[in-house]
Amino acid sequence: MTLWTWPAELPQRPLVDGYNETLPDLDLVSQPDIGPAMIRRETTAAPYLISLSFKVTDWQKERAKRFYRDDVKGRTTPWWLPEPGVDGYPLLAEDGVTQILDEDDQPILMSSLLLVRFAAQPSFTPLARPKLGWIMPLQLEVLP
């Protein structure tokens, strides 16, 4: 099965404001009659949620609606998302500042994709002044 990828026509980097990543709960907690709770690992992998927002134009808003409605059929089909904060960013040395360069003195860019599906329908909030665009918050489920 071929999976869709986040459309290149849509913004590739989310806004910092509104980004949130919630790690999965992999533990099983049991409360005995007396004493502290017993906790053990229930699974080694589980889906987790990320919330992110994009600033989009009128045209990009319509493209996002088509992607949700027609391409990935709402929340039913998983798809590939470039990992926010990783994909397309330069690889850094251990000092966290110096970029690692290739033989042509170009920065080496990281590549990472997340397998996701929509956890909720996209929504669109107009910006304060007309024609400035829209804010599109998304809630996505990252699949293991």
Q: Say if pTM beats, i.e. exceeds, 0.75.
A: yes
**84-103 pLDDT, tens per residue?**
989 989 999 999 899 999 99
Residue reference for tokens 């850094």: 92
Q: What amino acid occupies position 130?
A: P
Position 65 in a domain: yes
Position 128 in a domain: yes
Position 63 in a domain: yes
Count of domains forming the chain: 1
**23-37 pLDDT, tens per residue?**
888 788 888 889 888
Position 1 in a domain: no
> Structure tokens of 24?
């999965």
Position 2 in a domain: no
18-49-21 Cα angle (round to 5): 45
CB 11 within 8 A of CB 49: no
Per-residue confidence at 130, pLDDT binned at 50, 70, 90?
low
Domain residues for the domain of 86 are: 12-142
